[in-house]
Amino acid sequence: MSEPRAIENFGKALAKLREFVAMPVVNDRDRAGIIQAFEFTFEQCWKAFRQYAAAQGIAVVSPRQSLEAAMQLKLIDPDDETAWLDMLHDRNMTSHLYQETVVSEISQRVVDRYLALFEYALARCG
């Protein structure tokens, strides 16, 4: 089992993302809020995976390695591997560029796909 703090931080970040997603999206500021909450949730998620993996004797130093370890440890459904890799790609995109259309597309994927993946992962970690 992972350190409770990593999972707790992941849970708190996910709660904030849920809160942002539940609000109507009416402007760019709302989409930016979803993106920011997504970025923070992703960061806390991969760190929770890293600590969980370390407790199992698996060394992880990057987000991609944490996803691989999470799949190996069944924290991520193998059928969702592509979605998690898409999420990693989207996380990297939001950190390195700003294009209105990209932000809009990614914020919609957060609502439509990524929130449920985070929920599943948190339930498996806890």
Q: What is the pLDDT of residues 2-33, one digit of tens each?
A: 456 999 999 999 999 999 999 998 888 898 89
Q: Cβ–Cβ contacts within 10 Å for residue 47, how many? A: 21
CB 77 within 8 A of CB 38: no
pLDDT value, residue 18: 97
Backbone angles phi, psi at 35, to 5 degrees: -60, -45
Domains and CATH numbers, the chain: 4-125 (1.20.120.330)
- pLDDT, tens only, 62-106: 999 999 999 999 999 999 999 999 999 999 988 776 777 888 899
Distance of CA 32 to the CA centre of its chain: 16
